[in-house]
Structure 1
Amino acid sequence: MKRRTFLRTVGAGGVAGLAGCAGGSGGGGSTSTTESATTQTQTGTTTGMAGGTPELVVATYGAFVDAPSTSPGPWIKETFESEFDATLTFATPDSEINYFIERALQGVEIDADAYVGLNVDMLIRIDDRLDDGLFADVGDVDGRGEVKDGLNFDPQGRIVPYDTSYVSLVYNETMSDDGTFTAPETFDGLLDSEYEGDLLAQNPTGSSTGKSFLLHTIKAKGPDGYLDYWQELQNNDVRVLSDWSSSYTAYSNEEAPMVVSYSTDQVYANREDQDLAKHQIRFLNDQGYAYPEGMSVFRNADNPDLAEQFLEFMLRPEVQGEIAQRNVAFPATTTAELPDDFAEYAQAPPEAVTFTYDALRDNVSEWTQAWERQFASN
């Protein structure tokens, strides 16, 4: 079956059936709205071959297209199609990148041109399972030189970052007798008895936010000290829930005054006219853990030139600004055009920290498994 026909005819059940052995979500999201897998298979115009108009199929995670709050996908589709003689179709298989890994392992044709929403965990998974990977070397696409230092996470240059989030604490000033609750300034401060039971976090084995926080503790305490640190957090009654949504719901219900979340929290709170005293940001040790997202072109894409044009489009200053606002994340480039109110409420850390691809590929499974064994035993 031609891949374009496949994308227009297969339903959500068909995609799930082909990808059923992939194992769960790929974890594509960077913000509070993107950590759960979508049930939608594709969004947008799906008849792009009519009249000879080329069709660009861009795979992504569901919330990039249809988040409960706001999504960049529909605006990107409309804007791209208004300029390029092409139809843009978003494909959102339930198992995200795992769907394409399984197709490659089965020797089945990849049914998309580009992927938006890649992170370092996905890249490690791809490289561990596929000798030839999934993506082409996209080279020096226009705008790539404007990407901020430290956001490039692919040592082979296949992935181009298009946005980033920073994991931080969010705290509620009103949750004290005098309405002046303040989060600690350091990781060590979280261990003080005055903060007993005050922190909500996420399980790093199933949550991108939780994994980022775990990795930040490893940065702060070292591979030989982070488990001792987490033992002390447990002694101070940290509450670890399954994912971001569960923990943030508990935080919103004032079950605790602090939650591990994102430093763009005030952007969404301000947009929804919420009390900003309940959405204060704290960068522990004056640092935020960077969680960039990237995009690339599939090897053997039907429309590789058009796919590279799409990547260049995504890096334009005005498009970077729109993605940041609609995805509630920071742009990847230094030239993004952002309104003043976004810059006012989106807080960047004094220092961004992260681990390299090589360090994560060599160690992240061991680190998370050790954390899981210790946490489960207590």
Structure 2
Amino acid sequence: MLPRRLRTTIAVAVTGLLATGCTLAGGEDHADDAATTVTLATHDSFAVPREVLEAFEQRSGIRIEQLKQGDAGALANKLVLTKANPVADVAFGVDSTFASRTLREGVFERHTPDAAGQGPQRYALDGRGADRLTAVDVGDVCVNVDREWFASHDVPEPRTFADLTRPRYRDLLVTPSPATSSPGLAFLLATIADSGEDGWRDYWRDLKANGAEVVSGWTEAYTQEFSGSSGEGPRPIVVSYASSPAAEVGDDGSPRTRALLDTCYRQVEYAGVLAGTDKPRQARQVVDFLLSREFQRTVADNMYVYPTRSDVELPEAWQEAAPLPEDPAELPSNQVDRGREDWISQWRELYEG
């Protein structure tokens, strides 16, 4: 979801995310002195405009304190390890590749915001997850290409997973590792959905034989190795997000990169009230805030993800540069939970062994 989201680099640059443990509003405290402080555990990419946050704090009497926990995987692990003594009252940023683990461990308690019926329920998890985690944003992971590179080299852009193994695309792909990166894991799941549990290992052998490079995380892949970003790296194909081209619009208004919509994997980010909080009423209000129109209208520009509310429109520039994929790959959450660690282990043996 998202982890994970391009959005870390841009959100930090645009909004100046605050240090771990400080209030999201920062600077002068605009909340009432008697306000209740609610701790919100998030991934590192969380961002919200100051004025939107302050309006909520003043209206609700709740002061939000942010606690960053790394990417989506690190956040999920921390919530599980501390479930007996929760580090926060609310969590945002557990994505669909890790959500089933947190639910199995009983990390979240029941709460369904009234606004869930305005679109977020389209992304509800299986079974008991539907009343414990609420979808806040969508950040589909897709292969991206540098359009200018392909045009200047007179090479047709790839379209499918199978294309990435063809000789004409040798040494052109870079991907974050599925063992250490949320988008890398989403890409692995996408290949499993595409090739099946019996065929994905052969597919990755073909990728490796075709010179696909694997790096530790999204930042290295996108900002250092990818030719279509500011890093101007050597490789014109990268695993990133469906929203990434919205950040690569040229002076003529056209995106310099493109997401290959036949290679996308649905990644949803969720929020929930942590079981064991001593502020359940205020924690529920914070989750409701993340589903409000005011907050949902900010997620595209501030975190480079798609809102889940159906009554919130994307920025106009996204309509061409970064449309939401209509038919991304998905695996059932229980299948991901059952197979994730084994798949990663097999991938390590195959690609790193």
Contact 1:42 1:93 in 2 (8 A): no
Give the corresponding residue for 2:289: 313
1:146 to 118, 126, 129: 118
SS in 1 for 2:259: strand
In 2 relative to 1, CA 273–60 (structure 1 residues): closer, same or farther, beyond 3 Å? farther
In 2 relative to 1, CA 319–168 (structure 1 residues): closer, same or farther, beyond 3 Å? same
For 2:333 and 2:114, locate their aligned partners in 1 and report how far apart those are by CA, in whole Å. Answer: 24
2:35 to 53, 58, 67: 53
1:121 CA displacement: 4.0
1:195 CA displacement: 0.8
1:215 CA displacement: 0.8
Give the corresponding residue for 1:250: 225
State the percentage of identical aligned residues: 23
Matches within 5 A, 1:8-87: 29-34=3-8, 40-44=19-23, 51-64=33-46, 71-72=47-48, 74-87=50-63
For 1:295 and 1:331, locate their aligned partners in 2 and report how far apart those are by CA, in whole Å. Answer: 13
Residue 255 of structure 2 corresponds to residue 280 of structure 1: no
- 1:201-230 Cα distance to aligned partner (Å, 9 max, x none): 121011111111111111111000011111
For 2:31 and 2:59, locate their aligned partners in 1 and report how far apart those are by CA, in whole Å. Answer: 17
Pairwise CA RMSD of aligned residues? 2.8
In 2 relative to 1, CA 83–149 (structure 1 residues): closer, same or farther, beyond 3 Å? closer
Residue 249 of structure 2 corresponds to residue 292 of structure 1: no
Residue 240 of structure 2 corresponds to residue 261 of structure 1: yes
- 1:268 maps to amino acid: A
Contact 1:48 1:87 in 2 (8 A): no
1:352 to 319, 328, 337: 328
Give the TM-score normalised by structure 2.
0.84
Give the corresponding residue for 1:367: 343
Give the TM-score normalised by structure 1.
0.79
1:292 CA displacement: 0.6
Give the corresponding residue for 1:186: 160
For 1:277 and 1:179, locate their aligned partners in 2 and report how far apart those are by CA, in whole Å. Answer: 18
Contact 1:80 1:88 in 2 (8 A): no
Matches within 5 A, 1:85-96: 85-93=61-69, 96=75
1:360 CA displacement: 0.8
For 2:30 and 2:151, locate their aligned partners in 1 and report how far apart those are by CA, in whole Å. Answer: 60
For 2:255 and 2:67, locate their aligned partners in 1 and report how far apart those are by CA, in whole Å. Answer: 39
Aligned length: 333
For structure 2, list consecutive stretches of 5 or more residues without a partner in the other structure.
10-16
Contact 2:300 2:315 in 1 (8 A): no
Residue 137 of structure 2 corresponds to residue 137 of structure 1: no
- 1:133-191 Cα distance to aligned partner (Å, 9 max, x none): 2211113x211112356522353121101001111121112225745543212222222
- 1:32-53 Cα distance to aligned partner (Å, 9 max, x none): 2449xx9942122698997432
Give the corresponding residue for 1:233: 207
Contact 1:174 1:278 in 2 (8 A): yes
Higher relative contact order by CA 8 Å / sep ≥ 6: 1 or 2?
2
For 1:98 and 1:174, locate their aligned partners in 2 and report how far apart those are by CA, in whole Å. Answer: 40
Contact 2:179 2:348 in 1 (8 A): yes
For 1:291 and 1:88, locate their aligned partners in 2 and report how far apart those are by CA, in whole Å. Answer: 26
- 1:112 maps to amino acid: A
- 1:98 maps to amino acid: N
Contact 1:164 1:329 in 2 (8 A): yes
Q: Which structure has the greater CA radius of gyration?
A: 1
- 1:327-376 Cα distance to aligned partner (Å, 9 max, x none): 10111121214332233332222312211111111111111211111112
1:267 CA displacement: 1.6
Contact 1:147 1:334 in 2 (8 A): yes
For 1:93 and 1:269, locate their aligned partners in 2 and report how far apart those are by CA, in whole Å. Answer: 28
For 1:277 and 1:52, locate their aligned partners in 2 and report how far apart those are by CA, in whole Å. Answer: 48
1:171 to 134, 141, 145: 145
- 1:290 maps to amino acid: R
Give the corresponding residue for 1:8: none
- 1:201 maps to amino acid: T
1:326 to 296, 302, 305: 302
For structure 1, list consecutive stretches of 5 or more residues without a partner in the other structure.
1-26, 65-70
In 2 relative to 1, CA 291–93 (structure 1 residues): closer, same or farther, beyond 3 Å? closer
In 2 relative to 1, CA 73–188 (structure 1 residues): closer, same or farther, beyond 3 Å? same
- 2:337 maps to amino acid: R
In 2 relative to 1, CA 298–214 (structure 1 residues): closer, same or farther, beyond 3 Å? same
For 2:347 and 2:125, locate their aligned partners in 1 and report how far apart those are by CA, in whole Å. Answer: 24
In 2 relative to 1, CA 367–97 (structure 1 residues): closer, same or farther, beyond 3 Å? closer
For 1:325 and 1:39, locate their aligned partners in 2 and report how far apart those are by CA, in whole Å. Answer: 18
Contact 2:40 2:66 in 1 (8 A): yes
